[in-house]
Structures are given as structure tokens and as C-alpha cells.
Structure 1
Amino acid sequence: MWLFLLFLYGPTLTILILSFQGPMGGLTFPLKDPSLHWFASLFEVQRVGDFGGSLKRSLILAVLVMFVNVLIAVPAGMALRKGFRGSRAIFWLTIASLIVPSILVSLGVGLLFSQTGLGTKWYTSAFGAHLTWTLPFGVLIMIGVFARLNPAYEEAAVDAGATRWQTFRHVTFPIILPNVVGVMLFGFSLSYDEMPRTVLAGGAYNTLPLEIYAMTNNVTTPVLYALGSLTTLVSFLVIALALTLMTLARRRTGGGAALRKPKQES
């Protein structure tokens, strides 16, 4: 397991170390005059690349995708839980979107926006392309959550006179809240580093993954390593925040007991 973790994070650790090169340091070892020089120059005007702008665009896009992912995935999971005419077809069409090559999705979304005169932009066409990637995961998670949800809690609320909205707000949603946070985390992380579905649908301004890819052929200083370290830190902070919220939500709902089927009395 330790060897696997080393293989997984070894390259990232190498980038982290080299990002502390001094002003005269290069792209390879040895480390010369360690300092924060390249971190300080990240948001300065660069001769090549727009690090600050691309990072801002990726964060905004990821946050938008995160919230829309939840707003669609939760009602979709509830609808598929109860079933309706055509629900099976919708389920398989949702899963099938994960099989379509990402570059074809990007091409199709880009052509759709271009031909309709809307133009390709990172906050419109790329936003739609990212949702084709994040929504199936969100829906799958919520289907599993609702399949494990004990309906007795909702039935008790209805028997007590609660409306459907009150039942969802005061009973169902608090129970599934840790999983909703998980869906949010999925949406953010999948969008934040998505490149294939952005390359032909992102428009004139690059998101961070596209900017980093472009920089690998042009940047000859460790500023690229500093950018990689910063974005990795952002990812870990988001994960830590999500895990904290999930833990707090589980404590509030009694450790997720409502998602376990009660034992049948003999």
C-alpha cells in the first residue's frame, strides 16, 4: 500500500519540491537557493500564459458545476427511486454518456453553440460539456443513496401531518446531506481538472488544465511547478472541507443510521 501511495503521489512531491527553486534554479534537480520566488511571480504579468485568469475561471466553473450538479442529481435520484414511464431508458442514457469519448462530447457541444450563434465560452458551452461528465456520477450516487434510505422515516413524517416539501426539508434532506456533500465534491473535482471536454468547447480563454498543457511547451522556469503545487493545495483543501462537512452532517443524523434497514422483529 505504501508503494502504491508513493507511485501515486511521488510525481506530485517532486513538483512540490522543485517549486521552491530559487531565482537561478532550473526545471530539474539540484535545488538551488530554496525560496518562494516562483510562487510570488505566479500572479504577476507573464510573458507567456495567464495563470491567474485561468485559475479564476476554473474555480468559478467548478463551483457552478458543483451546485448545478446537486440541483439536478438529487431530484433525479428521487424520481428514479419512485420510477415513472421511461425511467429505465433515461437511466441507461445517463450511463451511456460516460462511455462516449470526451473529445467527441467537446466537439459536439462546441458545434452546437457555434452553429446556433451563441459562441463557445468557458462559462456556457464548457459548462454544459462539464455537466455531461459530472451529472451521471451525481445521479448514480443519489440512486444508491435513495435505494438505502429507510422509507419508514418519511412515512412517519407524513403520518404526523407533514407535507411532501416539509418531509423532504426536515427529514429526507438531513439524512442524505453527507451524500449530497459527496456529490458536490465529485462535481467540483471532476470539473476543476477536466480537459478533454473543454478543449473544443472552452472558447478563447483557457481554463487551468488547458493553460497548464499549453505552458508545458513554452514555460522554461519553475513557475509551472509553483502553479501545480498551488492547484494541488486547492484540491486538498476542498477535499478536507468536504470531509469535514460530511462528518458534521453524519453526527447530526446519528451516524447515518437512517440509511440502514432496521432489523426485522421475530
Structure 2
Amino acid sequence: MSIATRADLATEAAPPADTAGRIRRAVLAVYAGLFYVVLYLPILLLLVLSFNESQTIGLPMKGATLRWYGEVFGSQKMLASIANSVMLGIASALIATVLALMLAMGFRQDFPFKGLLMKIILLPILIPGIVGGIIYLIFFGYAEIPFGVWTTALPVHVTWVLPFAFLTLFPRLHGFDRSIEEAAADLGARPFTAFRRIVFPVIKPGVVATVMFAFTLSFDEFIRTLFSIGSQRTVPVHLWSLLSDQMAPFLPAVGVVIMVISMLVSLAGFAASARADRPRR
């Protein structure tokens, strides 16, 4: 068989380019569809079950009702846990963002053991939650610090969200044009004045986004909180206690409330982050 004949046969056997492209697009479409189903179907199911009039959690639907949302917002324990989560999240986010901003400013300079210190700051991310919770439990127990939202849970949450806040702020400050600050210093501006009037207005959207992100991390934190909060409750810990005691029919409504709060804060953070990136693009 000649070389030309073999080439012709290979060409006839090979599928057309448009056919291969259609197959590739079909496979990608199926993959994307399965991905979104697995990702969003449980959320949709949770939303549907939160309106189910049935006394048991599950399908089929026995009617639509807002009763379970009324029980969620009518429960004093649930309202107290929501208040604890919100206040703890706000305090943790603000403290961690301020500390992260100070660290990011300091890391713009060269100093001994800079790399080691950065690894120490990021260490809480690498420690598993249950291990960190046991460490905090033992530490606070030996230190005889009373367990509670503000005595033990707050420092635990600050320690947890600080590395994420630092990783969010450090790239913005590291890429900041320092010649602007040097020009302000040449004109007689003190370092704090240059930061307040030049640096901070530029990075302010990024700082706001960091606060929102840190709040979301604190609001959703469960394992470390469980070991450090004592008899008080945040929303995730209270939800876990409800799951341990009984499968209350209003649990899907609680999940929807938590999801809505987290989504609203996250969207606000994404909007602020996009605003911060717009001048750079």
C-alpha cells in the first residue's frame, strides 16, 4: 500500500473537526450541569424544606408555611445565638483587620526573620480545627480563664481570621507605589499623616472587603468555637445542639437564615473588593 493511500485512509477514519468539537462541548456541558446540580441542589432543597408544613424534615411537601421562620425569630435562644454570632463576628473582623493592616505595613520593611514570622502568622490556617479547639480548651483551662463569648471565643476567632485578613491586605500594600509616600514625606508629612491621607484612602475598599470576609469566617466558625465558648452559644453551635437533641422541623429555616446572612456579607465584600481592584486594572 502506498503512502498516499494510507494517508487517505487515515483521513477518512479520523472524525471531522466539527464532530470532535461538538463532542467536547457536549462533555463539558454535562460536566458543568452535574457540577451545578451537586453544588446548588442541596441549597435549593434546604430552601424548599424551610417552607414545608410537615413536622418532619423531608419530602414530600405537605403544604407551604412561614411558621418555621416565625419559630426561629420567636425563639429567645436562637435570637441570643444570632446576636452573639453577629457581635462576635464584627469584633473579630475589626480587631483582625486592624492587626493585619499593621502587620502588612510592617512587612513592607526588611527585618531579620521576616520569612519565619510570616510563616508563624499563617500557621493557624494549617492547624486542623479540632486540634486547634483542643489546644485552646487546654490552654484556657490551665489559665483558669472563664469560658464565654468575649473571654475565650473572641481571641480564638481573632487568631483564626487574622491570617486570612493578612493574606488579603498584604498584596495590596506590597504593590502600593511608595514613591507617593516619599513625595509626601518630602513635603513635610509625618508617617501617620501620609498613611491617613494617602495610603488608607487608596486601600480603603480593600480594607472594607477584608472586614466583610473576616466577618463571614467568624460567623460560620464552628469547631474552634465549640471548644472555647462554654455554655454560651453562637448560631453554628446552637444549630449543632439542636441537631444533637432533636431533628426540629425549623432547622431548615435556621440554615436558610445563616446562609442569607453569610451571602449578603460575602456579596458586600466582593463588591468592595471589585471596587478596590478597578483602579489597578
TM-score by length of 1: 0.86
Gaps of 5+ in 2: 1-31
Q: Distance in 2 between matches of 1:4 and 1:175?
A: 38
User: In the TM superposition, what is the alpha-carbon distance from 1:174 to its structure 2 partner?
Assistant: 1.3
Residue of structure 1 equivalent to 2:8: none
Counterpart in the other structure of 1:31: 61
Q: Contact 1:25–1:33 (CA<8 Å) still a contact in 2?
A: no
User: Is 1:79 equivalent to 2:106 in the alignment?
Assistant: yes
- Unmatched 5+ stretches in structure 1: 261-266
Conserved 8 A contact 2:49-2:252: yes
Task: Give the equivalent residue in structure 2 for 1:18.
Answer: 49
Is residue 240 of structure 1 aligned with residue 267 of structure 2?
Answer: yes
Give the length in aligned residue pairs: 250
More helix by share: 2
Q: Which amino acid aligns with 2:113?
A: G
Equivalent residue runs for 1:125-164 within 5 Å = 125-164=152-191
1:210 is matched with: 237
- Cα displacement (A) at 1:247: 5.2
- Rate the CA distance shift 1:182–1:245 in 2: closer, same or farther, 3 A: closer
1:73-222 to 2 correspondences below 5 Å: 73-222=100-249
Take 1:18 and 1:218, find their aligned partners in 2: how far apart are those partners?
A: 20
Q: Does the Cα contact within 8 Å between 2:213 and 2:266 map onto a contact in 1?
A: no
> RMSD between aligned alpha carbons?
2.1
CA distance in 2 between partners of 1:73 and 1:42 (Å) = 36
Question: Structure 2 vs 1, CA of residues 220 and 106 (structure 1 numbering), >3 Å: closer, same or farther?
Answer: closer
Specify whether residues 247 and 194 from structure 1 end up closer, same or farther in structure 2 by C-alpha distance, changes over 3 A only: same
Describe the superposition over 1:1-32 as per-residue Cα deviations: whole angstroms up to 9, x where unpaired: 4543332222121111110112x453111222
Superposed CA offset, 1:79-124 (max 9, x none): 0111223322211111223212222222222222222222111222
Cα gap change, 1:4/1:129 in structure 2, threshold over 3 Å: closer, same or farther? same
Contact 1:110 1:125 in 2 (8 A): no
Q: Distance in 1 between matches of 2:238 and 2:260?
A: 18
Deviation, 1:246, is 4.2
Q: Tell me the TM-score normalised to structure 2 length.
A: 0.81
1:256 aligns to what?
Answer: 279
Give the Å deviation of 1:249: 5.7
Larger Rg: 2
- The percentage of counterpart residues that share the same residue type is 28
Amino acid at match of 1:35: T
Specify the code of the residue in structure 2 equivalent to 1:188.
Answer: F
Question: Is this contact kept in 2: 1:25–1:31, CA < 8 A?
Answer: no
